[in-house]
Amino acid sequence: MIIQRLTAIVLGFWINLAPAQAWDHWTVISDSHGVGAFGGRISQWLRSRTDTSFYFLASGGSHPAHWLKETFTSPCAFDDSDSMDPKRKRVCLKILTPTLDGLLQARPKFDRSITLIIQGTNFSLDPKQRKTHVQQTEDLAKIAAASSDLCFWVGPPNMTKSPGYDAAAVVEKFGILQDGLKNIPGCQLIDSRLISTYPASGGDGVHYHWPAAKDPVTIQAAEDWADRLIQELGPRL
C-alpha cells in the first residue's frame, strides 16, 4: 500500500512537471497557389497535427492590399478548415476577400495563434507601385505579428512565365517582401525559391497545379513545394 501511494505521488509530480501540448490555431491566407494541390497538401498537414485547428483561405489574384480592405472579389478562391469535409473537391469559388484583421479577430482562443501568409506572386512590377507594395506588405505583417504568437510569410515560388513571373520577376517581388518585412521582426520571411521547382511539363508558367487538373507532374511539383515548406516550418514552431 505504501509503495502504491509513493508511486502515485511521484507519477502525479512528474505529470505536473511535464510540459503540456499547446493547442494551436492557424490562420492561413494565400493567393491562387493555395487553391490547388499546394494548398491541399498544407491543409492535409494541418489536419494531421494533434491539438490543432485552422482556417485557410486562398484568394486567387490577391496581393497584400486586398487583405487590408474588403474591396477584392476573387474569381478563383477556396476556403478550408478543420471542421470542413477534407474530401471536398478543390474548385474555384467566387469569394469577397475579407480583411486579415477581421479573420484574426474572429478566430477562436487557443494556447498559440499562428498566422501563415502566402503572398507576393501578384505584385505589379511597375516601379511606380513598388513603394506602395512595400508599405502594404508592412501594414499586413504588422497586423499579423501583433495578433499572433507566430507569424510566417511565404514568398513566391520559382515560376517561368515571361514577362512578370519569370526568375527576374520573382527576384523583384521577393525584394518587395524583404523591404516590407525588415521592420517587422515578429514575422519570419521564407524564400520559396529555395524549396520549389517548377514542373518540367504542364502548368501555365505561374501555377504549379490548378484545381481539377490531373497531370501527375504538376501535382507532384505542387506537393513537393508544400512538403518542403512544411519542413521549413517544423523547427520554427
118: domain CATH number? Answer: 3.40.50.1110
Angle at CA of residue 40, ends 26 and 215, nearest 5°: 160
So what's the pLDDT on residue 12?
A: 38
Residue 19 included in any domain: no
Q: Classify each residue of 107-145 as buried b or exposed e, where b means 16 or more C-beta atoms within 10 Å of its C-beta.
A: beebeebbbbbbbbbbbeeeeeebeebbebbbbbbbbbb
Number of domains in the chain: 1
d(CA 118, CA 63): 9
> What Rg do the C-alpha atoms of the chain give, in angstroms?
20
**Rounded Cα distance, 114 and 188, in Å:** 12
**Residue 190, domain extent:** 25-236
DSSP code, position 165? B
Which residues lie closer than 8 Å to 167 by C-beta, 6 or more apart? 158, 159, 160
Q: 52: Cβ–Cβ under 8 A, 6 or more apart, which residues? A: 23, 24, 25, 26, 46, 82
**Residue 17, pLDDT score:** 34
Q: Which residue has the cell 482556417?
A: 55
- DSSP assignment, residue 161? B
First to last CA, the chain: 44
Q: What is the DSSP string of 33-87?
A: GGTSHHHHHHHHHHHHSTTEEEEEEEETT--GGGGTSS--EEEEEEEEETTS-TT
Block means of pLDDT (10 residues each) for the chain, length 237 residues? 36 35 91 98 98 98 98 98 95 97 95 98 98 98 98 98 98 98 98 97 95 94 98 98
4 assigned to some structural domain: no
Residue 135 CA to chain centroid, in angstroms? 20
Alpha carbons 25 and 111: distance in angstroms, whole number: 8
Is residue 18 domain-resident? no
Asked if residue 30 is part of any domain, the answer here is yes
Does residue 202 fall inside a structural domain? yes
pLDDT at 21: 58
Question: In this structure, is residue 138 part of a structural domain?
Answer: yes
144 lies in a domain?
A: yes
CB atoms inside a 10 Å sphere around CB 195: 19
